[in-house]
Structure 1
Amino acid sequence: MSRLLHRVVRGCALGVALLAAGPLAAQQVVHVGGAFFPPYVLKAEQSQHAGLLPQLLDALNRAQSDFRFIVRPTSIPRRYRDFEAGRIDMSMFENPAWGWQGIAHSVVDMGLEDAEVFVARVESGRGQGYFKRLRGKRLALFNGYHYGFADFNADPHFLAKNFNAVLSYSHDSNLLMVLHGRADIALATRSYVSDFLQRHRQYAGQLLISQRVDQRYLHQALLRPAAPISAAQLGRLFEQLRRNGQLAAIFAPSQIAVRPGVADSSVTAGVTD
């Protein structure tokens, strides 16, 4: 009798487990490209759970049960190929003009705004007027980035010749060059400067951040045509996170603005090809 009861209990437990696993098994996986773009996406060795993208995906996963959003590592130049090949379904914090011409995609406005700003070292008598003229100053720039002040010409020789630019592959290095007097001005997103000062509190009050903006980033999510989730569905999820304050909780601490009432009306069905 006890053996029979044991079998019944095991059978019930298995049935409950299968019922519980059913909805999870039915979830459609959405692969989101994770290319190094701090503070949005950090390097894998810095922890795959760090950065703003994993926080956003966690919020999207908690908000519904039909889709499971996961990060799939890629790189800035490789993400286009991964997108076309179907290795990633979505690329976030994008602009359709950043090399996506000719690649079929639909667009969802994330309702987030960041900006590229000029940064100098605080010195006596130095104010916002310091950023009005760039020529004659030593600039620390990120190699490969397109800057508005240079008419989006990313050629290193052009930048070095016309703006006395030193190029690196590290925003930290560029800001440290400014702090240590090896460059006059660096450019970085407002969110990155905020992240840098949180990580290096010893430099608090030592950086002068421009009110002048080189370019504004109105972040968008790009979906491939065969993605498991549609632009309309994703737009509704962003609107849900905007309304319940989760977007602000994730992004406001990094000085990234959440634009009100955008995600509900910003989904486009257009496909670029």
Structure 2
Amino acid sequence: MTSRVLLAALTLLLMLPVEAAQLVRIGAAHFPPYTVRPENGADTGLLPQLVEALNRSQADYQFVLVPTSIPRRFNDFKQGRVDMAIFENPDWGWQDVPHTLVDMGLEDAEIFVTQKLPDRQQSYFEDLRGKRLALFSGYHYAFAQFNSDPKFLIGQFNATLTYSHDSNLQMMLRGRADIALVTRSYLSDYLLRSPQLASQLLVSERIDQVYHHYALIRPQAPISAEAFGRLLQKLREGGQLLAIFKPYQIELVPTHAH
């Protein structure tokens, strides 16, 4: 009799609909080493690694990457094509876009790099006037008061704008630019790939800005800021965040409630 009751209960349980994982779409804009050419379908970069860790750690949400671009990401977010923007800062043009905020507890930095020459010391980075800068198009730089307008950057700072940190570093090494700005994480990755170039570079002690990373979540997204914060905390406590980000000199720091 007991086995029959158990069998009936098991049959009933199997007939209940399985709760499907909620699909959460994360915008993936080319921002190496975080995201590398997502439009090509390449699974390289730190964002795909983070998404893989998030999906492995739980079954309530299925995180997927949706390719976007640095300029297009705002509209994709506002129009609901993506639910989340990750490795962002609310000061980078998001002020008028409704969102909730999750402090990721991750910090990177933007640094200045020039050719190592006998007459160049750290003082070379103190005054940018009259120097040719190689910048990443669409980025918000502190030295320019976070104004990313190309005409402003070209007019005020003699800037060349590209969509490639590699190109900017090569321009600087070939003498076509005096200073390139790159993220500390990118330079770390670049020198892992090209260690022979380390002796040719003078890296600034001056930091243009510290990137304190946030996740921005659309008000109608299937995941709340609180729920995503809990998932990140689980990865932090389990050591997965450290394993992903430490090789790129991205620091794990305390998070702050918003």
Q: Residues of 2 paired with 1:81 and 1:214: CA distance?
A: 27
Contact kept, 8 Å, 1:141 with 1:166, in 2: the verdict is yes
Question: 1:57 deviation in Å?
Answer: 0.6
Asked if 1:178 is matched to 2:172, the reply is yes
Q: Residues of 2 paired with 1:127 and 1:186: CA distance?
A: 16
After superposition, the CA RMSD in angstroms is 2.3
Q: Residues of 2 paired with 1:123 and 1:68: CA distance?
A: 50
3-state SS of the aligned residue for 1:111? Answer: strand
Asked if 1:139 is matched to 2:159, the reply is no
Contact kept, 8 Å, 2:70 with 2:138, in 1: the verdict is no
Question: 1:92 deviation in Å?
Answer: 0.3
Q: Residues of 2 paired with 1:252 and 1:113: CA distance?
A: 11
Q: CA 1:156 to 1:100, structure 2 compared with 1: closer, same or farther past 3 Å? A: closer
Deviations 1:73-112 (A, max 9, x none): 1122222222222221111011112222232211100011
Q: CA 1:180 to 1:145, structure 2 compared with 1: closer, same or farther past 3 Å? A: same
3-state SS of the aligned residue for 1:26? Answer: coil
Segments ≥4 residues shifted beyond 6 Å = none
What letter matches 2:22 in structure 1?
Q
Q: 2:107 aligns with which of 88, 97, 113?
A: 113
Q: Residues of 1 paired with 2:117 and 2:90: CA distance?
A: 39
Question: 1:201 deviation in Å?
Answer: 2.9
Asked if 1:93 is matched to 2:90, the reply is no
Judge which range, 104-113 or 192-201, deviates more: 192-201
Q: 1:238 aligns with which of 204, 225, 232?
A: 232
Asked if 1:168 is matched to 2:162, the reply is yes
Q: CA 1:160 to 1:90, structure 2 compared with 1: closer, same or farther past 3 Å? A: closer
3-state SS of the aligned residue for 1:194? Answer: helix
3-state SS of the aligned residue for 1:145? Answer: coil
Identity of matched residues, %: 59
What letter matches 2:80 in structure 1?
G
Contact kept, 8 Å, 1:118 with 1:213, in 2: the verdict is yes
Structure 1 match to 2:44: 50
Structure 1 match to 2:246: 252
Contact kept, 8 Å, 1:48 with 1:54, in 2: the verdict is no
Q: Residues of 2 paired with 1:119 and 1:46: CA distance?
A: 29
Q: Residues of 2 paired with 1:73 and 1:61: CA distance?
A: 18
- TM-score w.r.t. the length of structure 1 is 0.82
Q: Residues of 2 paired with 1:151 and 1:226: CA distance?
A: 32
What letter matches 2:246 in structure 1?
A
Q: CA 1:153 to 1:232, structure 2 compared with 1: closer, same or farther past 3 Å? A: closer
Q: CA 1:235 to 1:44, structure 2 compared with 1: closer, same or farther past 3 Å? A: closer
3-state SS of the aligned residue for 1:30? Answer: strand
Structure 2 match to 1:123: 117
Q: Residues of 2 paired with 1:47 and 1:201: CA distance?
A: 28
Contact kept, 8 Å, 2:101 with 2:215, in 1: the verdict is yes
Q: Residues of 1 paired with 2:147 and 2:174: CA distance?
A: 27
Q: CA 1:156 to 1:33, structure 2 compared with 1: closer, same or farther past 3 Å? A: closer
Structure 2 match to 1:63: 57
Q: Residues of 2 paired with 1:178 and 1:81: CA distance?
A: 33
Structure 1 match to 2:197: 203
Q: CA 1:248 to 1:121, structure 2 compared with 1: closer, same or farther past 3 Å? A: same
Q: Residues of 2 paired with 1:126 and 1:142: CA distance?
A: 24
3-state SS of the aligned residue for 2:55? Answer: helix
Question: 1:33 deviation in Å?
Answer: 0.7
3-state SS of the aligned residue for 1:175? Answer: helix
Question: 1:232 deviation in Å?
Answer: 0.7
Asked if 1:227 is matched to 2:221, the reply is yes
Q: Residues of 2 paired with 1:131 and 1:76: CA distance?
A: 27
Contact kept, 8 Å, 2:136 with 2:161, in 1: the verdict is yes
Unaligned runs of 5+ in 1: 1-14, 269-273
Q: Residues of 1 paired with 2:216 and 2:39: CA distance?
A: 26
What letter matches 1:32 in structure 2?
I
Q: Residues of 1 paired with 2:80 and 2:157: CA distance?
A: 40
